């Protein structure tokens, strides 16, 4: 029996000024399959999805759904013909309630009015299917990013779609949530839905997908059965050159340089009632201190207290041996602390400004507006980081909003490195970053560390925390429950500690 693909894209082309984002790309989706769309940052994955869902108009090529030519011109139209999408940058409405977000654009009417009861009940059901139990009448913005992401997924699931597209849905989810999502996807697959899934996590690709399409530099490289393509082959296909296992593994070993005798930042009993229980942390120059813990364990809250964003009401902080009050980010910056936040959309990039302006932003702020950085110098700094971090753009003067997701993340990292900080807090720095770039970024972080930078590192990927950290402080339920030396730690020992067992 031959099964026909439900969706076929062929010869798709799309250019933006200075960038050929898609050159003759093809894609086939079969009913009842999970299909991974893979490629490095800027390869064209999100653009292909936008073309498919009517957000971008292609310059050429055709799309067929069940054999029929389609040309969706907006998301609503794609949705109406059965293509449902969760975009990379969650674009729901933060001020509306969770339930409103799930039903936006298709509110059920009862008599003369909107049927709020039904909306609330069905929203609850849709979220319960993902094992999320929250008050759906609260504004979406009152929930963490991970929950917002799940709401976006619930929205896509609650429409009667035949094709479901997920652009990096898991980059802000923890392992439990990923497993829940995958369970939901497996059910949908059973029902014959075709699912297209973009991720940079190789483990996830192999855990869930049947077939893989690889893009490189806007070009179609190949379509493979997941079972027939090894990890290393997949990486090499994406990158277009040989990355040997040895250099991938060697990454693990590199330990840091000379460590200062005294911590640069020392927090003692630092806490915030209702948010974070008193915590002791010592962060040394030349060392990476990792924060281990599940989503909601207090990792980001700890970072926010140290950067003066969240108010603290107990404990003390010493910086360079001196007791200080870090009651605003400005103060923190003055003390040489930098913070690369996890949510680049709301706390990070300014989409309308150029890449150059985004990169020099923090440096300029620290110098004050009266010590304006000459434009030539700004260019030099921006170009240096674009080159060092491999930010894929034709020009530093382009609006940063036009960069691919992973490249925006790199620009944000550049912003803080450019301030030449003494301590850098990295909250999920490699979220959405492709595997080759991730190795480069981690290498760069460690090189800065060897030069004497103190780093506080947060990532929901435990393997990554283990790989870079000299020490790991383990958090659970908004308190620190212990610390392990990096060389003694493995995933088991950290998870045992989190689970509360004696290790």
Q: Which of 4, 16, 142, 451 binds ligand ATP (CB under 6 A)?
A: 16
Instruction: State which residue, 75 or 319, has the beta carbon closest to Mg ion.
Output: 75
Binds 44: which of ligand ATP, Mg ion, none (CB < 5-8 Å by kind): ligand ATP
Least spacing, CB of residue 439 vs ligand ATP, in Å:
15
In the region spanning residues 388 to 407, those forming contacts with ligand ATP, defined by CB under 6 A, are 392, 402-407
CB of 405 to ligand ATP, least distance (A): 3
**Comparison of 55 and 150: residue with beta carbon closer to ligand ATP:** 55
34-42, 292-300, 414-422, 453-461 -> range binding ligand ATP (CB under 6 A): 34-42
Helix (H, G, I), strand (E, B) or coil at 32: coil
The mark string for 48-87 relative to ligand ATP (x by CB under 6 A, - otherwise) is: ----------------------------------------
In terms of CB distance, is 48 or 276 closer to ligand ATP? 48
Task: Check binding of 236 to ligand ATP (CB under 6 A).
Answer: no
Taking the least distance from each CB to Mg ion, the nearer of 72 and 405 is 405
Rank residues 19 and 439 by Cβ distance to ligand ATP and give the closer one.
19
Residues that bind Mg ion (CB under 5 A): 45-46, 88, 405
Helix (H/G/I), strand (E/B), else coil: 425: strand
Tokens, residue 102:
């799930």
Q: What does the radius of gyration of the chain's CA atoms come to, in whole angstroms?
A: 23
Least spacing, CB of residue 220 vs ligand ATP, in Å: 13
d(CA 134, CA 176): 17
The nearest distance, CB 397 to ligand ATP, in angstroms, is 12
CB 480 within 8 A of CB 292: no
Measured CA to CA, the distance from residue 312 to residue 310 in angstroms comes to 6
Q: Per rule CB under 6 A, is residue 44 in the interface with ligand ATP?
A: yes
Name the token pair of 208: 């869930």
Does residue 348 interact with ligand ATP by CB under 6 A? Answer: no
- Tell me the C-alpha to C-alpha distance, in Å, between residue 478 and each of 150, 290, 297: 22, 15, 5
Give the whole-angstrom CA distance, residue 120 versus residue 110.
14
Phi, psi of 108 (to 5 degrees): -70, 140
Residue with tokens 């530093």: 396
Is the alpha carbon torsion for 345, 351, 354, 358 positive or negative?
negative
CB-based contact 198:45 (threshold 8 Å): yes
H/E/C letters for each residue in 132-177? CCCCCCCEHHHCCHHHHHHHHHHHHHHCCCCEEEEECCCCCCCHHH
Rounded Cα gap, residues 299 and 473, in angstroms: 10
Q: Which is nearer to Mg ion, 83 or 475 (CB)?
A: 83
Q: Which stretch binds ligand ATP (CB under 6 A): 35-43, 272-280, 379-387, 451-459?
A: 35-43
User: Quick one: 164 or 433, whose CB is closer to ligand ATP?
Assistant: 433
If one asks whether residue 332 binds ligand ATP (CB under 6 A), the answer comes out as: no
Task: Specify whether the CB–CB gap between 120 and 136 falls below 8 A.
Answer: yes
Q: Pick from Mg ion, ligand ATP, none: which does 392 bind, CB < 5 to 8 A by kind?
A: ligand ATP
Q: How distant, in Å, are the alpha carbons of 23, 149, 216, 229, 251 from that of 236?
A: 20, 30, 11, 11, 17
* Site residues for ligand ATP per CB under 6 A: 16, 19, 21, 39, 41-47, 88, 392, 402-407, 434
């Amino acid at each position: 029996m031959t099964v026909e693909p439900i969706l076929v894209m062929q010869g798709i082309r799309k250019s933006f000024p200075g960038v050929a984002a898609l050159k003759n790309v093809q894609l086939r989706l079969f009913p009842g399959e999970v299909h991974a769309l893979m490629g490095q940052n800027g390869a064209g994955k999100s653009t292909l999805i936008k073309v498919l869902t009517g957000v971008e108009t292609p310059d050429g090529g055709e799309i067929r759904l069940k054999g029929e030519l389609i040309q969706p011109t907006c998301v609503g139209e794609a949705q109406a013909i059965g293509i449902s999408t969760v975009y990379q940058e969650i674009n729901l409405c933060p001020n509306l309630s969770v339930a409103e977000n799930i039903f936006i654009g298709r509110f059920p009417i009862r008599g003369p009015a909107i049927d709020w009861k039904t909306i609330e009940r069905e929203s609850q059901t849709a979220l319960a299917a993902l094992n999320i139990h929250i008050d759906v009448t609260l504004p979406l913005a009152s929930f963490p990013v991970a929950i917002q992401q799940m709401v976006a997924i619930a929205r896509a699931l609650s429409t009667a779609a035949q094709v479901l597209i997920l652009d990096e849905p898991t980059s802000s989810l923890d392992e439990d949530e990923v497993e829940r999502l995958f369970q939901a996807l497996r059910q949908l697959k059973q029902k014959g839905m075709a699912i297209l899934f973009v991720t940079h996590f190789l483990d996830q690709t192999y855990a869930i997908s049947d077939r893989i399409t690889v893009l490189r530099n806007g070009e179609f490289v190949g379509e493979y059965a997941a079972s027939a393509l090894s990890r290393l082959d997949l990486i090499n296909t994406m990158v277009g050159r040989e990355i040997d296992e040895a250099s991938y593994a060697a990454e693990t070993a590199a330990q840091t340089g000379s460590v200062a005798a005294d911590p640069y930042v020392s927090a003692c009993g630092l806490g915030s009632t209702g948010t974070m229980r008193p915590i002791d942390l010592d962060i040394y120059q030349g060392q990476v201190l990792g924060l281990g813990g599940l989503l909601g364990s207090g990792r980001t809250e700890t970072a926010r207290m140290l950067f003066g964003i969240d108010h603290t009401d107990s404990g003390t902080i010493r910086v360079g041996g001196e007791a200080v009050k870090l009651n605003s980010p400005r103060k923190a910056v003055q003390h040489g602390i930098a913070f690369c936040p996890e949510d680049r959309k709301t706390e990070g990039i300014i989409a309308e400004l150029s890449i150059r302006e985004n990169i020099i932003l923090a440096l300029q702020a620290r110098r004050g507006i009266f010590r304006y950085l000459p434009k030539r110098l700004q260019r030099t700094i921006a170009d240096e980081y674009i080159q060092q971090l491999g930010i894929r753009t034709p020009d530093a003067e382009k609006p940063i909003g036009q960069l691919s997701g992973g490249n925006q993340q790199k620009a944000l990292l550049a912003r803080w490195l450019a301030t030449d900080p003494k301590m850098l807090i990295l909250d999920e720095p490699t979220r959405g970053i492709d595997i080759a770039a991730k190795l480069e970024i981690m290498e760069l972080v460690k090189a800065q560390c060897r030069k004497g930078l103190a780093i506080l590192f947060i990532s929901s990927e435990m393997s990554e925390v283990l790989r870079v950290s000299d020490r790991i402080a383990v958090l659970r339920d908004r308190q620190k429950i212990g610390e392990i030396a990096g060389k003694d730690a493995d995933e088991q020992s950290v998870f045992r500690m989190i689970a509360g067992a004696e290790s």
